[in-house]
Amino acid sequence: MTTPPSPSKRSAIAPFIAMDVLSETRELERQGRRIVHMELGEPGAPAPLAVREAAARALAQGAIGYAEALGRPALRQRIARHYGEAYGVDVSPERVIVTTGSSGAFLLAFLAGFDPGARIAMTAPGYPAYANILASLGLEPVLIDVGAETLYSPTAALLEAAHRAKRLDGALLASPANPTGAMIPSDEFEKICAFCEDAGILFVSDEIYHGLSYERACETALAHSRNAIVVNSFSKYYAMTGWRLGWLVAPESLVRPMERLQQSLAISAPTLAQIAALEAFEAKAELEAVKAGYARSRALLLEHLPRLGFSDFAPPDGAFYIYADISRFSADSAAFCKRMLEEAGVAVTPGIDFDRARGKRMLRFSYAGAESEVRLGLDRLAAWLGAPRPTI
């Protein structure tokens, strides 16, 4: 009898619980249940019509081969132009690298920017895949707790304190952030960039939720630093999750190393998606209409969640999430979310996915789906919790 292979130590990472919740919801749906989906950060709207039409034309022509490792030149040029239009920042197309989603961008950034053992700061709560990718690559995530005292945003002072305790090699921060939706204030963002420059810390700025802010504009790290790595994606604002297309803007010194890595790890990002994505930048009216739907859903949740007992949550400045305290109901977010799914038919993500130490009292509501889904979710939660039904 042969011995089955043992998994590598690098594969011993935590599960991405939001995806586990999705699997549970799919099983319930196969049993005939109608589940309200508020667990994933996936836009309910399709990709813009012009994007889909461009893909159909390209498919009809039939020539969908490899693209250049750095990306199709036309798309790299259009992305660079976007930074001038959206932020007033001049970016050379030579610094733009098109990737297989933001996930591919993070892999290139971590592999090109850090050697094994490097210490990279990130916030808790934060996107769980950050720490998992870092750990699988032999890098050390350094968790910096953020909470109500800093409006769930990191500060330069927090980074400096962590760096003084033990040297940091990098910092990975998001604004707007997942799971909180919190945005780093402009003056603090500038201080963070300046501190990282002065301390020799490579700053990786996750900007994949740019375009999805409701009361103030998003700001790019490129406005303050030429040495930062900026990651963005077509998945969120542009509603192209399954197209698996993202990009990064790299310092000149890292472009060729990233190109070499891309050549071997992915060859290139999906060519069909690259062809179609050119049209995404011209679909602003359609995309802003989708965003207006998120804004209405956000307003519904901000009004009605406190009436249901979810009155303490992070400032939902951007993205499409509300990260809420459930201490009034439970000290075990995983068990509470499981009951909510099974008994109320509403799927959300427990806070332990984003913060292992403090997430037992938190959960994340996503309002990325249709406004009607949010309304139904609120109605079901009111019935489940024995609260007055919302008039919406």
> What are the pLDDT digits (tens) for 82-103?
999 999 999 999 999 999 999 9
pLDDT at 3: 85
273 alpha-carbon distance from chain centroid? 19
CA–CA gap between residue 293 and residue 317 (Å, rounded): 15
> Nearest Cα to 234, choosing from 22, 15, 55?
55
Tell me if 116 sits within 8 A of 142, measured CB to CB: no
Burial (CB count within 10 angstroms: exposed 0-12, middle 13-18, buried 19+), residue 19: middle
CA–CA gap between residue 364 and residue 325 (Å, rounded): 9
pLDDT at 391: 63
pLDDT at 10: 85
pLDDT at 21: 85
pLDDT at 80: 98
pLDDT at 12: 82
CA–CA gap between residue 204 and residue 105 (Å, rounded): 10
CA–CA gap between residue 83 and residue 218 (Å, rounded): 12
pLDDT at 219: 96
pLDDT at 122: 98
CA–CA gap between residue 207 and residue 79 (Å, rounded): 14
Which stretches of the chain drop beneath a pLDDT of 50? none
- Report the residue count for the chain: 392
Q: Which long-range contacts (CB under 8 A, 24 or more apart) does 81-85 make?
A: 82/281, 83/220, 83/222, 83/249
